[in-house]
Amino acid sequence: MLPSSLLHFTNRQKNRYPSYINTFEDTLRALSLLLPGRFQDSDLCSQTILTGLNLISLVHTKVLVEKHLNTQTVDGSFNARFIQNYQTKRLCRLASWTLSIISYTEVVVEMFLSRRVSRMSRWKWITSIEGIKFLLRLALFYGAKRKMILHPTHYIRNVDPDTLDLQHKDDKLELSHLDPRTGTALSKESDTKSQSRSGWSHMGELLWMVRPLVYALMILVEQRKMSVRSDPKEVQEDEEEQTEKDEESLSWKPWLVSLCIDWISLIAVNMQTSNRLEKEELKRRSYLLLYYFLRGPMYTQVTRVLLDRFCDATEHRPIVSIVTAALNDYRPFWQDSYFYTSGS
């Protein structure tokens, strides 16, 4: 047997593990926020750290939630629905975790590709990734008997890690009935009981899943058209200048088609009664429509012009210049990366 002092030390370390998680994640997150704009390729370095943090957080969340569920069953929570829909079937479990890993790594993968391959090849990779995500969502949708896919497709921390002390079970009971996304009390199973999507709502959910793939395919077609029309001499131009020229000449068609699909999807899904979690997901999808201001010709021809004017006017003004500097530091993310504003 181990000495009692060593056993006490081991128990203390186990109880402190959640607080170590918080400290470690907060430190990395602060570092990733401070890096953009500080040196060359700082945006790639920042996103790499953030990607690593998200993957580590994914593992930590799984450990913490499963530890919590071992001592407490929570009805009506996001995690309860996640377990019911995706964890009971091997295919759904694999699809959900694969989709989460892709969503956390796609931005940094695109950044690496943009530095290594041509613009055409980068969009081929983007289209392939969107195709994989579509197939994974399709597997989740029909594997869960046509129930709405909620974001994210993994556990969320529905309890403060610092409260996961096995010696304080009563405190956990109170925290377990709070929704981490709204801070409101969770109701019982009836509030999260969902119906299978049918009719127009079924079609709307399928449209929401296929929309990113349609957009990426249309952009790829546009890129091929531009490469066919381009003069061989233009290929030798400065890469950044040529990229900017290509962006400004992009057609509005992919942008408009994608926006229409999103609107039709939201309207169709709303035709069927939704529970609380599904209403929150619909609200999230509605907010994602704001990304259209940072995407495609809408950004290059409208939003970027307004941002340039704002930054030029406030660059040397006190206090406001802090916001301007932050905008300029983070603009490369949504200017150069499709996945950063894809909403997929």
pLDDT at 30: 74
How far is the C-alpha of 178 from the C-alpha of 204, rounded, in Å?
Answer: 30
Averaged pLDDT in 10-residue chunks for the chain of 344 residues = 47 55 72 68 81 86 73 63 74 90 93 90 95 95 87 73 45 40 46 69 93 95 79 49 52 93 94 84 94 91 92 85 83 86 86
The answer to whether the beta carbons of residues 78 and 150 sit under 8 Å apart is yes
Which residue, chain included where needed, has tokens 């990734």? Answer: 129
- Which two structure tokens, joined as six digits, stand for 32? 């990733």
Bridge partners (DSSP) listed for residue 178: 185
pLDDT at 38: 66
Following DSSP, what letter does each residue of 191-228 receive, concatenated? GT------HHHHHHHHHHHHHHHHHHHHHHHHHHHHHH
pLDDT at 196: 72
pLDDT at 271: 86
pLDDT at 174: 37
For residue 240, with 0-12 CB atoms within 10 Å meaning exposed, 13-18 middle and 19 or more buried, which class applies?
A: exposed
pLDDT at 231: 54
Rounded to the nearest 10 degrees, what angle do helices 90-116 and 320-336 cross at?
100
pLDDT at 66: 73
